[in-house]
C-alpha cells in the first residue's frame, strides 16, 4: 500500500499549490519550471556561439538573486576567467570595454558588480572533470542548483567507447541529483551534422555522443539564433529561440528571448498587448 503521509503530501501539492520555488525572470521558462522536481536534470544544448554559457549564466544570476545556493562547474575555463566573463553581464557593461579605458560610470558599474557577486552564494569549480570529483564537490557544498559547463569535456575512461562513457556520466549525474536533492543543468554540444540541413533548428537527434542525454534528461532546451546564420537579416538581430524539445513535466514548445551579445546576457522581450 502507498503510505498515507505521501498521499497527503501530494494531495496538498495539488489542492494548495505554492509559489514556484525557482523563478528565472523569464516568463515562459518559469512556467516550464513551475512543477519541476528537485532531482531533475535539465540539458541546455546548442551549437558553438549560440550562447549556452550566456544562457546558463543569465538563469543562474536570477537564482542567485533569490538567495539560492549555486555551484558552477567550469570545465573549459579557469575560475578567474569565468569571473571576468560574468562581471560584465552583472554590470551590463560591454565586455570589450574591459580591455579599454573605461568611463567613470562604467568603472562604477563594474565595482558594484564585484560587490554583488561577492554576496552571492556561489561556488565556482574549475578543477573537477571526473564524475567522482563532481559528486564529491556536490556532497560537500550541498547546492540547490548545479551547472556543468559542459558535458563533452568530462574526462572519461580511455578504454570505453565515447557513447558508453557519456551514458555512464549522465546516469551518474541523475543519481547525484536524486541523492543530493538538487537540480543539475548540463550544457551540451550538438552534432555538426545539423549544419548540413536547411533548417538548422536543433532536434533531439542532434545531441552529441549519446542517446542517453535525451533519455536521462527530464528537460531538454535548445538555443537557436537565426542571426548567426543570416547576419544580414535585421529582423532577427538580437533574437533567440529557446526550443523545449523534451519536457517530462509538461508540453514541448518554443519561446523567444532577447540576446545582447555585447554583455553576453539573455533578456525577457518587451511584450506589447493590444487591448482593442
CATH code, domain with 174: 3.40.50.300
- Asked if residue 186 is part of any domain, the answer here is yes
Distance CA(162)–CA(169), nearest Å, equals 11
Centroid of chain to Cα 67: 17
Distance CA(23)–CA(16), nearest Å, equals 19
- The predicted pLDDT at position 236 comes to 79
Q: Which domain holds residue 127?
A: 36-267
- The predicted pLDDT at position 8 comes to 63
The low-confidence residues of the chain, meaning pLDDT below 50, are 272-276
- The predicted pLDDT at position 32 comes to 82
- The predicted pLDDT at position 83 comes to 94
| DSSP type of residue 187 | E
- The predicted pLDDT at position 5 comes to 66
Total domains present in the chain: 1
Cell (9 digits) for 273: 498587448
- Asked if residue 175 is part of any domain, the answer here is yes
Centroid of chain to Cα 22: 13
- The predicted pLDDT at position 175 comes to 96
Give the count of alpha carbons within 13 A of 183, CB side only.
Answer: 21
Run of H or E including 258: strand 253-260
Which residue is listed with cell 567522482?
132
- Asked if residue 41 is part of any domain, the answer here is yes
Amino acid at each position: 500500500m502507498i503510505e498515507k503521509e505521501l498521499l497527503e503530501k501530494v494531495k496538498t501539492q495539488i489542492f494548495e499549490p505554492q509559489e514556484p520555488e525557482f523563478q528565472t525572470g523569464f516568463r515562459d521558462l518559469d512556467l516550464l519550471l513551475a512543477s519541476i522536481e528537485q532531482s531533475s536534470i535539465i540539458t541546455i544544448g546548442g551549437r558553438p556561439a549560440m550562447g549556452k554559457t550566456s544562457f546558463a549564466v543569465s538563469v543562474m544570476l536570477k537564482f542567485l538573486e533569490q538567495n539560492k545556493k549555486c555551484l558552477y562547474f567550469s570545465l573549459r575555463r579557469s575560475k578567474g576567467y569565468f569571473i571576468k566573463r560574468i562581471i560584465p553581464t552583472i554590470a551590463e557593461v560591454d565586455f570589450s570595454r574591459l580591455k579599454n579605458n573605461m568611463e567613470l560610470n562604467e568603472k562604477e558599474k563594474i565595482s558594484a558588480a564585484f560587490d554583488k557577486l561577492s554576496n552571492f552564494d556561489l561556488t565556482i569549480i574549475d578543477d573537477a572533470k571526473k564524475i567522482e570529483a563532481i559528486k564529491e564537490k556536490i556532497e560537500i557544498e550541498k547546492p540547490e542548483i548545479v551547472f556543468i559547463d559542459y558535458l563533452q569535456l568530462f574526462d572519461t575512461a580511455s578504454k570505453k567507447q565515447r557513447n558508453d562513457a557519456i551514458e555512464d556520466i549522465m546516469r551518474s549525474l541523475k543519481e547525484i541529483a536524486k541523492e543530493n536533492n538538487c537540480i543539475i543543468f548540463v550544457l551540451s554540444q550538438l552534432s555538426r551534422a545539423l549544419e548540413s540541413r536547411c533548417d538548422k533548428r536543433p532536434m533531439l537527434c542532434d545531441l552529441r555522443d549519446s542517446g542517453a542525454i535525451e533519455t536521462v534528461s527530464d528537460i531538454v532546451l535548445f538555443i537557436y539564433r537565426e542571426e548567426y546564420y543570416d547576419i544580414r537579416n535585421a529582423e532577427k538581430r538580437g533574437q533567440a529561440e529557446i526550443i523545449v524539445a523534451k519536457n517530462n513535466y509538461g508540453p514541448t514548445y518554443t519561446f523567444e528571448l532577447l540576446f545582447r551579445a555585447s554583455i553576453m546576457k539573455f533578456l525577457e522581450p518587451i511584450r506589447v498587448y493590444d487591448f482593442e
